[in-house]
Amino acid sequence: LGADGPLGTGDYCVVLTDLLGAGWSTSPSNAAPGQEAAGFPQVSLLDNVRAQKALLDRLYGDDWQLALVTGWSMGGMQALFWAMAYPERMRAILPFCCTARCWPHNRVFLDGLKAALCADAAWQGGRYATPPERGLRAFGRVYAGWAYSQAFFRRELWRGLGFQSLDGLLDYWERDHLEQDANDLLCVLHSWQSADPARSFGVASLAEALGRIQARAILMPGSSDLYFTVADAGHEASLIPGAELRVLESDWGHCAGGPGREPRAMAQVFAAMRALLGRQ
């Protein structure tokens, strides 16, 4: 939220939800017997949004409207799905570093991550007795090359994160993914990779799905994001009535939008939030 951010003022009730399958909400790593591990059902972004809507209905009844739905990465994808699924339930959306659809190059990137993880002999089709540590390490190391931009590495911006060497950064990504559950990771990747608004809403085209959006919208792709590209986000913005494309300028790649990671990038996100909230 940020103490100096527009959502940290105390003027708003902020509702945060965790992604199904990511380890905190119901996930392969904590599901009931019979649905755990590789037996966990596949979950879509629309499933997540419907669950979030049910939560709000349970908490606030039928008479509520959201001032803003926002998020980074898959959180931003869900903001877009929210606006398509329940267009009357929010006044504005700010999805950043994301697209509504998982475009082909993005899908290829995710297939590479899955292949790195599942190549570990310990994977055992998700029914492993011990975690596939080699696969988890490979997943993290492969992802590190996509999470940032070429300029991030060329300018050695990783030093600002406290690392003394590039290997130190890569070792961190390996350790971080060793702490995650392999089935959880693949569950999340499925939700991401299967994002297809036209199919989710049973309509003929992406344009028809995005055309359902009524909320004021600022789409904010990262200028150096390698897989949620400005071109793809710009195409989607052109299909949303009245939407603004506002590029997040940063050399931090996809991680530019990570909350609290890059102050100059977050200042741009907060400015967009204020612009949307200030019009209400």
Enter the tokens of residue 213. 């959006």
What is the torsion angle, in degrees rounded to the nearest 10, for the CA atoms of residue 189, residue 25, residue 44 and residue 1?
-80
Enter the tokens of residue 45. 């972004």
Reply yes or no on whether 73 is catalytic.
yes
- Comparing CA positions, the residue from 241, 244, 242 lying closest to residue 233 is 244
Collapsed DSSP state (helix, strand, coil) of residue 217? strand
Separation of alpha carbons 257 and 269, rounded Å: 8
Enter the tokens of residue 115. 């292949």
State the distance between the two ends of the chain, measured CA to CA, in whole angstroms.
20
Catalytic residue among 27, 29, 44, 73: 73
Separation of alpha carbons 186 and 179, rounded Å: 14
Q: Checking DSSP bridges between strand 216-219 and strand 244-245, what pairing results, if any?
A: parallel
The answer to whether the CB of 206 falls within 8 A of the CB of 239 is yes
- Comparing CA positions, the residue from 228, 248, 226 lying closest to residue 236 is 228
Specify the DSSP class assigned to residue 185.
Answer: H
Catalytic residue among 225, 232, 250, 251: 225
Q: What residues are annotated to the active site? A: 73, 225, 254
